[in-house]
Structure 1
Amino acid sequence: LKAGVVEALKTVQYMGIPQMVVTSTRTEVALLKLARFNILSYFEDVLGGDQVSKGKPHPEPYITGANRLKVPTKNALVIEDSENGVKSGVAAGCMVLHMPDLINTKLEWNNVIYGALDSLESFPEWLSSKQFGMWV
C-alpha cells in the first residue's frame, strides 16, 4: 500500500463521501488486490477496465463511475497518479487531484487539474480544509 492510503480512505469515509475505484485493471484482479490489503470495504463500487468499452485516457471510465455513484462528474473528485488517468478525469469533467507516483505533475496541467499533492499522506488535511458542501 502507498503511504497514507488507509488514513485517506478513513477521512473520506468519516466525511460521508462515497468512494469508488476506477481502474484500468480487470475488475477481478482489482477486487483481489483491494481485498488482500483489507481496504475493499471502504469502496461502494469498483469499476475495472473490463467494464468499459473505452479505457483511460477516454472519459468513459470516470463518467461511468460517477453515474454509478449518482454523482455529477463536476462533483466527482478523482485522485490519479497516471497521465492517462489525469486525461480521463479531466475529459470527463471531474475535479482531478494528481498524486505524483508514476509521473510528476506536468506544468501544462496547472490550468486543467483541481490540484496536486506530494503524497496521500497530505490528503486528509487537504480534504478537511475544503468546503464539504462542494462534494454533495
Structure 2
Amino acid sequence: MEYIKAVAEIRQQKKVASDITSKNIWVKQSKDYIFKYLHEKIRIQDIAEYLHLNANYLSELFRQCENVTLTDFILQEKVKLTRNLLAYSPYSYIEIATYLGFSSQSHLGKVFKKYTGMTLRQYREKYGQNFNK
C-alpha cells in the first residue's frame, strides 16, 4: 500500500509540475507577443487569438503567474519605453504617443503619470538629454 501511495504522489507532483510548465509557456508567449508589438495598440483579445486561447483564461493565467494583470503589464512596458524615448530622443509627446499606439497624447500622459507619478514634461525636464531639432 505504501508503494502505491508513493507512486500516486509522484505522479501527482509530475502532473502539477507539467501544468505549471505549460502555463509558463503561455505567459512567455504572451510576453513575446507584447514585446514584438509594443509599438502598436495591443488588445488582450489579439494576444489570445494569436495563442488560440480564451481571453479570460489567458488574463487569469497571466495574473496568477506574474501577479500583475495583463493590461497592467502591457502599460508598464509601454511606460518603460516612453521613459527611454523621453530621456534619449527628440520626439515630441504626440509622436511618442502615436508610435506606442495610444489614442492621444493625453491618454499617454494619464497612463505615464499613473505609473511614474510625473508628467511627460516633468520627466523629460528631469532626465532628458538636450536635443537641438
Do these two structures clear the TM 0.5 threshold for a shared fold by scoring above it?
A: no
Which has the larger share of strand?
A: 1
TM-score normalized with structure 1 length: 0.25
Which has the larger share of helix?
A: 2
